[in-house]
Amino acid sequence: GNLEWLDKNKTSFLIMWRRPEEWGRLIYQWVSKNGFTNSVFTLYELASGDDTENEEFHGLDETMLLRALQALQQEHKAEIITLDDGRGVKFF
């Protein structure tokens, strides 16, 4: 369940430690626990910032981070936004 084919010919794949939905849950638990609902973060702040240094998602690849945030967006817990210097996310 943690392997995903990246092409139709099945020549390359991605092995995931956790599914995007699981990463999303971890991120949202951190947001809720620290009172960051209604806050905006850059993707850099989430993956590499000082506030997330001791969290499991610290250092998460940007592609997987985006997929986790997209899962949260589908649950109406977050919205991915475009900022002047890149992408960010607002949590609800």
Residue 36 vs residues 4, 5, 33, 40: alpha-carbon distances, Å: 32, 35, 8, 8
For 26-74, the pLDDT digits (tens) are: 999 999 999 999 999 999 999 999 999 999 999 999 989 999 999 999 9
pTM (predicted TM-score): 0.87
User: At what angle are helices 62-74 and 20-33 packed, to 10 degrees?
Assistant: 80
For 9-24, the pLDDT digits (tens) are: 999 988 888 999 999 9
Helix (H/G/I), strand (E/B), else coil: 59: coil
Write the class of the CATH domain 19-91. Answer: mainly alpha
DSSP 9: T
**Model pLDDT, residue 27:** 98
CB atoms within 10 A of CB 30: 19
| Ranges of each domain in the chain | 19-91
Residue with tokens 């997929």: 67
In angstroms, the CA 24 to CA 86 distance is 20
